[in-house]
Chains A and B, each alone.
Chain A
Amino acid sequence: MPAPPAKTDPRAIRREVDLWTAFWDQVNYIPDGHKLKGCIQCGTCTGSCPVSYAMDITPREVVALFRAGHLEEILNSRTIWLCASCYSCTVRCPSGIRVTDTLYALKRLAIEKNIYPKNFPVYALSKLFIENIYKYGRNFETGLGARYLLKTSPGGLFKSAGFGMKMFSKGRLPVKPERIKRIHEVRAIIDKAKQLGGA
């Protein structure tokens, strides 16, 4: 017989602790990951970021929120999915924090825990991308873009049609995916790495 539900729901608290542990597991994969603790909240990362103007939480605030124990709030924000990986913040951080890699760690945490911002399905692109690699061993750009838009905003697919036709007419848009010969090698490596624990 299942245990009766607890009167006060402790899920919320457990979740934050759980996220905290999982986050540090991810950060420990980053060279100098521990330097995150040395953030001086100067805001150089936010100032250097070309897309911070469109973020709901700035990179500096990400670190502040994490310290205050609000990881879930970070994962619910658009910020980590807006990072285009330009590394401007990373090379300028006076405390030597690899901010871009930290945002990657947060992306992995979000995917692991299935926590995403509302109405902002950018993470779906990463998932489709890795499906492509497992299927073909390569990234089939045409199919990737089309599938992503079909899934997230079919209107966008219509808008991109002009671009697609232009590229196609110049022979720069393949219509068929190409599978590598030894795809079994790629799949074996992926399977094995996942089995080893991934992260």
Chain B
Amino acid sequence: MEFAYYTGCSLDSTAKPYDQSCREVFKVLDIGLKDIDDWNCCGATMYMSVDNLVAYSVSARNLAIAKQSGCKEICAPCSSCYTILQKTNKYVEWDPYARSMINEALSAANLSYPETIKVRHPLDILVNDIGIEEIVRKSPYRLDGIKVAPYYGCQIVRPEPMFDDMDNPTTMDRLLTALGAEVVDYPAKVRCCGGMLMTTYTDVALNLNNDIISSAVEAGAEVIATLCPLCQMNVESYQSQINSKYGTNHNMPTAFFTQLVGLALGINPKLLGLDTMLIPVPSRRVKANGEGVTV
């Protein structure tokens, strides 16, 4: 099994630990990741705000190059990349005229729109291709007793239901529960983190993130598990600002779900980028063979 890996800009910088942990987990589970050669930015929500055709054409270059690598599916860990690449496929499927225009734009770089290349999220691949049982079988450790609030955010579950429910997704819940974690249920699991509003309208974004963190705290969580680089940064990095604005006392570790899975798989915390988190993530784990040794 091999996927064309679309790193995306965030995983190349602010979300390095997501990139590291994703690659490590896939390596241990024996899933091939082939870097898309010389990929470009997907355009995110920003290009869509300026020019429709250019936005889709820029995004389609990645699909075209990924297809050339011989892979049938793309693995895109960033929610925004995932949605944009996905949307490009949908748009072309929906509108034959758009397809011809995008193809013409791509031809300027001697590329063409690949007819079939699926875009997948690592969570989807782990749970639906590899399977939870298989991951548990390969895990020498369990995350017993760690109280996790899985946070899905927006663009994994919306606008199209790709692999989970739009209002109450459970894929991450099931995976982490099977690995021994105590998953808490809380109402903010699909609430928006504000995305780029943290830069453009900070007050609103702080309010949104306070809602998310407070809701997780109330449910008794000791760590929030995320699957998007922007969600992770917004939830983790602005807690001191939230605290001074709302008089709260948050100090909530915010991990990438791949880091938690990696811990269970017995990967060295450093290789998972756990030392680069701003708030230390609880990384205690118990040997799965029942010896109960905490490492």
List residues of chain A with CB under 8 Å of any chain B CB: 26, 29, 31, 50-51, 54, 81-82, 84-88, 90-91, 98, 100, 104, 107-108, 111, 122-123, 125-127, 129-130, 132-133, 137-142, 145, 148-149, 156, 162-163, 166-167, 170-174, 178, 180-182, 184-186, 188-194, 196-199
Known: A108-B49, A127-B50, A191-B108. A182 touches B38 (CB 8 A): yes
Q: What is the CA–CA distance of A198 and B108 in the complex, to the nearest angstrom?
A: 15
Residues of B within 8 A of A197 (CB): 53, 101
Interface residues on B, range: 35 or more
The 9 closest A-B pairs by CB, nearest first: A86-B192, A87-B158, A185-B109, A192-B108, A129-B46, A193-B105, A86-B154, A188-B108, A107-B49
Residues of A within 8 A of B121 (CB): none
Is A171 a contact partner of B276 (Cβ separation < 8 A)? yes
B289–chain A nearest beta-carbon distance, Å = 34
Q: Please, which residue of chain B has its CB at the minimum distance from the CB of A26?
A: B52
Q: Is B163 an interface residue (CB 8 A)?
A: no
Is A170 a contact partner of B197 (Cβ separation < 8 A)? no
Chain B 90-111 interface mask (CB, 8 Å, partner A; 1/0): 1100110010011011111101
Is B57 a contact partner of A193 (Cβ separation < 8 A)? yes
Residues of A within 8 A of B200 (CB): 81, 122, 125, 148
Partner of B40, one of A88, A111, A186: A186
Q: What is the CA–CA distance of A29 and B50 in the complex, to the nearest angstrom?
A: 13
B112–chain A nearest beta-carbon distance, Å = 12
Q: Please, which residue of chain B has its CB at the minimum distance from the CB of A142?
A: B13
A59–chain B nearest beta-carbon distance, Å = 14
Q: What is the CA–CA distance of A140 and B9 in the complex, to the nearest angstrom?
A: 7
Q: What is the CA–CA distance of A173 and B233 in the complex, to the nearest angstrom?
A: 12
Q: Please, which residue of chain B has its CB at the minimum distance from the CB of A186?
A: B40
Partner of B46, one of A51, A130, A185: A130
Residues of B within 8 A of A50 (CB): 191-192, 194, 208
Is A194 a contact partner of B54 (Cβ separation < 8 A)? yes
Q: In this complex, which of B61, B108, B191 has the most chain A Cβ atoms within 10 angstroms of its Cβ?
A: B108
Is A85 a contact partner of B45 (Cβ separation < 8 A)? yes
Q: What is the CA–CA distance of A19 and B238 in the complex, to the nearest angstrom?
A: 40
A173–chain B nearest beta-carbon distance, Å = 7
Known: A190-B54, A193-B105. A185 touches B111 (CB 8 A): yes
